[in-house]
């Protein structure tokens, strides 16, 4: 991401260029390129990169990468031209790009490779199928954080900022906790298990677009903040956000999460049940197994594989499939989907499911939506 005089000059030049409006997903990818989240990528992927990532988890240069980072357009943009890339609403200029290649893609092949399905009901498949059929490749110069800093303030941290914070805290073993939901009791349990073996946990909230019905980031992060304040020891948790949209790619997205968290300074990533999944497209532990299917040197960030967690009435507390000997009749399964359903129906939520301070934040949000 450019700064100072270089930023001012490139912004002035961008105003003279043909402007292409990007999608919400592409906006998040551009910002990650700009802030160092996708280091060492320098731009949008070529056809050889796209094919290599889809079919073998490698770019043309041999870099391990699990999901294509691409920009799609109609066929009117000329190779060799410079273009400006604008926010989805057509307002702010996000980046400039030198178009070095354009190529048609097989959308069904990308979906089958990345999502493991071509079902149009899958939100990631729907996203790809709605893209134009031509990808543009080339290096980018990023001009803006897309308004994330203005909206989220100190919560929006770059990789350089999280690494500096971990150094200030004296952390070297840092576990990332990926979330697109408010943290309920199972999430709290997973984070605390990680703290037992690591110096601290980065609760890393997705700030980009979600599927309909999910709880927006500004509400989710407030709920997480009250949980950390009331139920975690000070100095063991850093909450931050990153600008991507969810792809709901399950195992492949778990690898992408681990990859970019190397740049954020995390040595480990918590991988729970159905990480980055949606519906019933993935098995509950497919994201565990995929880390064993890639080369051992592909990632520095290592997975902390966590079993299914739940409240056990016989144990009298949170437990997992590895620790609890009791049957399903004694267990309260804790899931974000169930919590959202209860809240949307204004139903009682068991205290074993979610902390009262968290529920207070979430109920206020649903009251604003007209749920009584």
Backbone angles phi, psi at 153, to 5 degrees: 60, -135
User: Which residue, among 242, 247, 245, 206, has the nearest Cα to 110 in the 3D structure?
Assistant: 247
Catalytic residue among 25, 135, 163, 181: 181
Catalytic residue flag (residue 181): yes
How far apart (Å, rounded) are the C-alpha atoms in residues 358 and 318?
17
Give me the helix-helix angle, 356-368 and 336-344, nearest 10°. 50
User: Which residue, among 330, 302, 295, has the nearest Cα to 316 in the 3D structure?
Assistant: 330
CB 254 within 8 A of CB 290: yes
How far apart (Å, rounded) are the C-alpha atoms in residues 271 and 302?
10
CB 19 within 8 A of CB 9: no
Catalytic residue among 25, 163, 180, 252: 180
Helix (H) or strand (E) holding 124: helix 123-129
Q: In what order do the strands lie in the sheet with 331-333?
A: 317-320, 309-312, 331-333
- Is the link from the previous residue into 74 a cis peptide, with omega within 30 of 0? no
- Exposed, middle or buried, 319 (CB in 10 Å: 0-12/13-18/19+)? buried
CB 73 within 8 A of CB 131: no
DSSP state for residue 269 in the 8-state scheme: E
CB 71 within 8 A of CB 132: no
Give me the helix-helix angle, 217-231 and 356-368, nearest 10°. 160
User: Which residue, among 212, 188, 358, has the nearest Cα to 278 in the 3D structure?
Assistant: 212
Catalytic residue flag (residue 180): yes
Provide the 10 A C-beta neighbour count for residue 263.
Answer: 20
User: Which residue, among 19, 16, 44, 10, has the nearest Cα to 30 in the 3D structure?
Assistant: 44
Provide the 10 A C-beta neighbour count for residue 252.
Answer: 24
Which residue bears the tokens 């990468």? 65
> What is the set of active-site residues?
180-181
């Amino acid at each position: 991401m450019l700064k100072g005089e270089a930023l001012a000059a490139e912004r002035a030049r961008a105003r003279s260029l043909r402007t292409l409006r990007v999608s919400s997903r592409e906006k998040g990818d551009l910002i990650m390129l700009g802030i160092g989240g996708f280091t060492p990528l320098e731009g949008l992927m070529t056809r050889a990169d796209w094919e290599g990532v889809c079919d073998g988890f490698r770019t043309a240069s041999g870099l391990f990468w699990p999901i294509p980072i691409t920009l799609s357009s109609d066929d009117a943009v000329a190779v060799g031209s410079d273009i400006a890339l604008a926010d989805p609403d057509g307002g702010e200029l996000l980046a400039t790009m030198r178009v070095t290649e354009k190529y048609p893609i097989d959308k069904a092949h990308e979906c089958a490779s990345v999502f493991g399905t071509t079902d149009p009901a899958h939100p990631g498949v729907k996203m790809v199928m709605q893209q134009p059929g031509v990808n543009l490749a080339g290096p980018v110069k990023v001009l803006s954080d897309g308004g994330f800093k203005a909206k989220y303030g100190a919560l929006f941290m770059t990789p350089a900022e999280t690494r500096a914070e971990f150094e200030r805290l004296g952390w070297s073993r840092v576990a990332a906790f990926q979330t697109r939901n408010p943290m309920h009791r199972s999430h709290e349990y997973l984070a605390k298990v990680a703290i037992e073996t690591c110096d601290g946990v980065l609760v890393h909230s997705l700030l980009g677009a979600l599927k309909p019905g999910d709880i927006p980031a500004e509400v989710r992060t407030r709920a997480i903040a009250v949980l950390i304040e009331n139920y975690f020891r000070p100095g063991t948790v850093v909450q931050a956000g990153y600008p991507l949209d969810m792809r709901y790619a399950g195992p492949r997205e778990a690898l992408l999460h681990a990859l970019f968290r190397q740049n954020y300074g995390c040595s480990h990533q918590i991988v729970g049940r159905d990480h980055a999944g949606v519906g019933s497209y993935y098995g509950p532990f497919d994201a565990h197994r995929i880390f064993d299917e890639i080369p051992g040197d592909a990632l520095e960030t290592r997975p902390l594989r966590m079993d299914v967690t739940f409240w056990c009435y016989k144990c009298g507390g949170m437990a997992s499939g590895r620790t609890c000997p009791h049957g399903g009749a004694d267990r309260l399964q804790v899931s974000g989907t169930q919590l959202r359903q209860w809240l949307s129906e204004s139903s009682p939520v068991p205290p074993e499911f979610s902390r009262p301070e968290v529920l207070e934040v979430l109920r206020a949000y649903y009251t604003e939506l007209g749920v009584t």
